[in-house]
């Protein structure tokens, strides 16, 4: 048997062990956006470093400094840089992933504890199962399959894992820039592979060549010195929630059109060639309904729906902090509320270009209210959009890997989500970046009952490993 076949056979035989490792990872509450979970997020970094070390990777933890969160200045979770293999005759692949997760509470509507990996039929439920602990464990599975059988890896590997991706990747760009300018770590990297997004549907594996950027904002409105009784003060004072809800209603309409002047106009319309790409995609309105859990697509045209996610900007309202949100009927006028919203950006938009348009517009809309409350707009974090070249051996290697394992030709997609570091790798390292998703469209990333199908975890592990063999086979192709 070839090394590649031994690798595949090992993955099949050790599925239960791999699932257990994912369960151990899910258990650690590495919620980067929650100050109360910061120590556990840092612990997750240490846990991951230990796993990598045990699999023969030489690792260092890089301190990324501190950042303010929920009124406290806290240490950032470390970045993990790892290296395995120094053979100058082999290609060197840089692998990125993030070990932090989105917040999750059982009371949000989860059927089971979000931080216990629960197996139901052929699916694994738990926060981070698909985003992004499952894919990271997939890479560890590849390493284990080789190390425990004494198989030589076909490429040199470099790893860059962070614990702040869900909160703006604080500190990572600076680390990469400094390392590129002064360090050795990224020297010799030939390509980058990131497994941190999802297939477009539940049938067809995907290769992803674009991501939207993001600009995340808070609108803070305050007035009364403390919360007030609405019976005693209602219709007597300017209410912060009333102002905030009015302002938030001015940002986006019910059809998803962005109302901030200048934002939509920045994006060129699609030409005939681009439109045909969406028509050809294996996608239907039933896929949106399946992934969203309801038939609520903004259009009956699949092309319009796909463009909404892949090539148009969007603006979503996420929540209001400080508002009454418990069960029951508290008759309160909250004294201070903060609305959270974000824009997903596409080329040529960048956070720098949209920030003044958004803040200026909200200030002018607030002025129209003649309110005596105080209002500020805060830019919280962001990242630029990214589009890659699919006509590159990096994509060809991944396509061949998918065809070998899944016996299907992949969809070529642009993802609606954001991974801020992607463009940094492309620009600072000057190499091709590929997104090779493991999970499916209905995995519920960021949502309740996030899951990963066992077949996606196990066959996905095989795809990741096979991709490395294909990169090696394509060595020398320009
Ligand atoms: C696509 C990736 N798995 C992801 O979920 N990225 C996040 C990044 C982010 C930015 N602010 C908060 N999280 C996303 O697209 O929301
Ligand atoms: Zn995420
Ligand atoms: Zn992610």
Q: Which residues contact 112 (CB under 8 A, 6 or more apart)?
A: 106, 118, 125
> Is ipTM > 0.90 here?
yes
pLDDT at 275: 95
Q: In what order do the strands lie in the sheet with 374-383?
A: 314-321, 336-345, 213-222, 374-383
Residue 91 tokens, joined: 């290609």
Global confidence as pTM: 0.95
In 10 A of CB 320, how many CB atoms? 19
- pLDDT surpasses 70 at 477: no
**Residue nearest to ligand 1 atom 1, measured at CA:** 417
H-helix or E-strand containing 361?
helix 351-368
**Residue nearest to ligand 1 atom 13, measured at CA:** 166
Phi, psi of 180 (to 5 degrees): -65, -40
| Separation of CA 254 and ligand 3 centre (Å) | 27
| Separation of CA 32 and ligand 3 centre (Å) | 12
Atom of ligand 1 nearest to the CA of 33: 12
| Separation of CA 24 and ligand 2 centre (Å) | 19
| Measured distance CA(85)–CA(77) in Å, rounded | 26
Q: Which ligand is nearest to the CA of 450?
A: 2
Pocket of ligand 1 (CB under 6 A): 131-132, 165-166, 168, 196-197, 214, 216, 417-419, 445
Atom of ligand 1 nearest to the CA of 381: 11
pLDDT digits (tens, 9 = 90+) for 197-236: 999 999 999 999 999 999 999 999 999 999 999 999 999 9
pLDDT digits (tens, 9 = 90+) for 339-379: 999 999 999 999 999 999 999 999 999 999 999 999 999 99
| Measured distance CA(370)–CA(373) in Å, rounded | 9
Mean pLDDT on 154-179 = 97
Domains of the chain: residue spans and CATH: 5-211+385-475 (3.40.630.10), 214-267+312-383 (3.30.70.360)
pLDDT at 1: 85
pLDDT tier, 475 (very low <50, low <70, confident <90, very high otherwise): confident
Sign of dihedral through CA atoms 115, 96, 307, 248? positive
Atom of ligand 1 nearest to the CA of 211: 1
Mean pLDDT on 377-405 = 97
Whether the bond into 348 is cis, omega within 30 of 0: yes
pLDDT digits (tens, 9 = 90+) for 110-158: 999 999 999 999 999 999 999 999 999 999 999 999 999 999 999 999 9
Q: Which ligand is nearest to the CA of 214?
A: 1
């Amino acid at each position: 048997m070839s090394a590649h076949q031994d690798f595949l056979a090992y993955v099949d035989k050790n599925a239960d062990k791999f699932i257990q490792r994912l369960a151990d990872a899910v258990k650690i509450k590495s919620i980067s956006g929650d100050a109360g979970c910061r120590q556990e997020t840092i612990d997750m970094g240490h846990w991951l470093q230990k796993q990598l070390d045990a699999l023969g990777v030489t690792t260092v933890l890089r301190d990324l400094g501190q950042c303010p969160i929920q009124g406290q200045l806290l240490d950032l979770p470390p970045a993990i840089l790892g290296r395995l293999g120094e053979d100058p005759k082999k290609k060197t692949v840089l692998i990125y992933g993030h070990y932090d997760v989105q917040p999750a509470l059982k009371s949000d509507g989860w059927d089971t504890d979000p931080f216990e990996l629960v197996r139901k039929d052929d699916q694994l439920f738990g926060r981070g199962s698909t985003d992004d602990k499952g894919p990271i464990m997939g890479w560890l599975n590849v390493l284990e399959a080789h190390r425990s059988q004494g198989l030589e890896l076909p490429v040199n590997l470099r790893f860059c894992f962070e614990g702040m991706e869900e909160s703006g990747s604080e500190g990572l760009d600076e680390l990469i820039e400094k390392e590129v300018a002064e360090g050795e770590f990224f020297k010799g990297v030939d390509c980058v592979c990131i497994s941190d997004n999802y297939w477009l549907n539940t049938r067809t594996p995907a290769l992803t060549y674009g991501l939207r950027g993001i600009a995340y904002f808070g609108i803070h409105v305050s007035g009364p010195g403390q919360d007030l009784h609405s019976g005693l003060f209602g219709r007597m004072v300017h209410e912060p929630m009333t102002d905030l809800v009015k302002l938030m209603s001015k940002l986006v309409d019910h059809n998803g059109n962005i109302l901030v002047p200048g934002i939509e106009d920045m994006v060129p319309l699609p030409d005939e060639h681009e439109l045909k790409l969406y028509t050809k995609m294996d996608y239907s309105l039933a896929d949106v309904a399946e992934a969203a859990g309801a038939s609520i697509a903004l259009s009956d045209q699949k092309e319009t729906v796909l463009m909404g996610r892949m090539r148009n900007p969007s603006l979503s309202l996420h929540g209001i902090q400080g508002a009454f949100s418990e069960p029951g009927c508290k008759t309160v006028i909250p004294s201070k509320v903060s609305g959270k919203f974000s824009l997903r950006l596409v080329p040529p938009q960048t956070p720098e270009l949209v920030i003044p348009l958004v803040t200026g517009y909200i200030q002018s809309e607030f002025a129209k209210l003649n309110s005596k409350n105080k209002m500020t707009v805060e830019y919280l974090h962001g990242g630029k959009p990214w589009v890659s070249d699919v006509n590159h051996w990096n994509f060809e290697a991944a396509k061949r890997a998918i065809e070998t394992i899944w016996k299907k030709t992949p969809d070529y997609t642009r993802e609606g989500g954001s991974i801020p570091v992607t463009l940094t790798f492309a620009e600072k390292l000057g190499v091709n970046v590929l997104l090779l998703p493991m999970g499916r469209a209905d995995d519920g990333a960021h949502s309740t009952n996030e899951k990963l199908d066992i077949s996606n975890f196990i066959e996905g592990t095989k795809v990741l490993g096979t991709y490395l063999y294909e990169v090696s086979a394509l060595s020398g192709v320009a």
